[in-house]
Chains A and B, each alone.
Chain A
């Protein structure tokens, strides 16, 4: 019974690990496009409002700035979520080191 539990635990660890391998690269790609796309969407919305209401360049400028802010907000939110994940992982590792004989067998070893 105990044996089967640990093996299933390590299996669940294994199926998560390929998710984290490409993580750095995927994060970089997500961040770059998330930041740029909001600027384009913001500018586009502003341009359309200006186009329909004939209010000069003002909405374009304002929404361009909103879009830029949204890009930074995306990055900020993403980074905060990621640092929270890192902190949780570090906490888990520390817990493993504190009580090695119970947990290290199925947690530290990938």
Chain B
């Protein structure tokens, strides 16, 4: 009883101190703000900062590739070789995992990779919005991939696709045990795919927000330390943004491959 009173009093003073100083709110930049409210027939299709930044990302990727390949030559310019390296990177990934039959999925996987990559990277610009830090965005992407892989499997294998849930060389006694396990691990695919990207982006940007807050509020003789950390973490975030886009794409390849060549 006593303790709780003391604790609440302390919390009160802490709150007062916090309101006196600039308020620490590292989750502020994940807020979705509607710029233009559009809701025809009850469907909310408002133009929010999330939508705006998705458009910007698409425009940046499109513009960058158009600019890089504006006058393609045999001896590439700097930008052209970057674009070609990106192209070869995705192509190598598909060839590695799916094989020659994955060629027709190249446009889809290429688009997905560069969309996620630039969503992650543009989020690092101060004042911008990280589209991939919204679970609804990553969830929609992951569900789209998941449903696509199911339709692909059903198209190529028909009802035999259900054999996906029965592992090879399994004694029939173990079937009631293994089939639910396989179904759960299959259903967990979109969950882990979306949550991984969302959680990594949110966590990284929250850490950056906290460190920037420390840098801004600490006295000059201490501020260099969190500032140094922000520099290191920004580099780290660039790397993680790439890794996450890479994982997202490589798992797309793996799921498509599972649907094409079962087991």
Contact = CB atoms under 8 A, between A and B. Distances in A.
A29 B248 CA distance: 11
B247 interface: yes
Given A15-B88, A19-B89, A33-B196, A73 B181 contact: yes
A103 interface: no
Q: Bin the interface of chain A by size.
A: 20 to 34
A33 B185 contact: no
A22 B246 contact: yes
Interface stretch (B58-66, B91-99, B126-134, B152-160): B91-99
Given A66-B180, A70-B184, A19 B196 contact: no
Contacts of B251: 30
Given A19-B92, A26-B250, A29-B196, A41 B191 contact: yes
Given A38-B184, A38-B185, A41-B184, A30 B96 contact: no
A11 to B, nearest CB: 8
A25 interface: yes
Contacts of A16: 92, 96
B181 A69 contact: yes
A15 B89 CA distance: 6
Contacts of B191: 37, 40-41
B188 interface: yes
A19 B94 CA distance: 11
A25 B195 contact: no
B111 interface: no
A10 interface: no
B182 interface: yes
Contacts of B92: 12, 15-16, 18-19
B231 interface: no
A70 B246 contact: no
Given A19-B89, A26-B243, A29-B243, A37 B188 contact: yes
Contact of A29 (B91, B185, B247): B247
A69 B93 CA distance: 30
B200 interface: yes
A66 B183 CA distance: 10
A12 B62 CA distance: 26
Given A29-B196, A34-B192, 17 more contacts: A16-B92, A16-B96, A19-B89, A19-B93, A22-B246, A25-B243, A26-B243, A26-B250, A29-B243, A30-B196, A38-B185, A45-B187, A67-B184, A69-B181, A73-B182, A74-B185, A74-B188
5 contacts: A22-B246, A26-B250, A41-B191, A45-B184, A70-B184
Interface of B: 88-89, 91-93, 96, 180-182, 184-185, 187-188, 191-192, 195-196, 199-200, 242-244, 246-247, 250-251
* A-B interface, 8 closest residue pairs, ranked by CB to CB distance from nearest: A37-B192, A70-B185, A15-B92, A38-B188, A41-B188, A70-B184, A33-B196, A15-B88
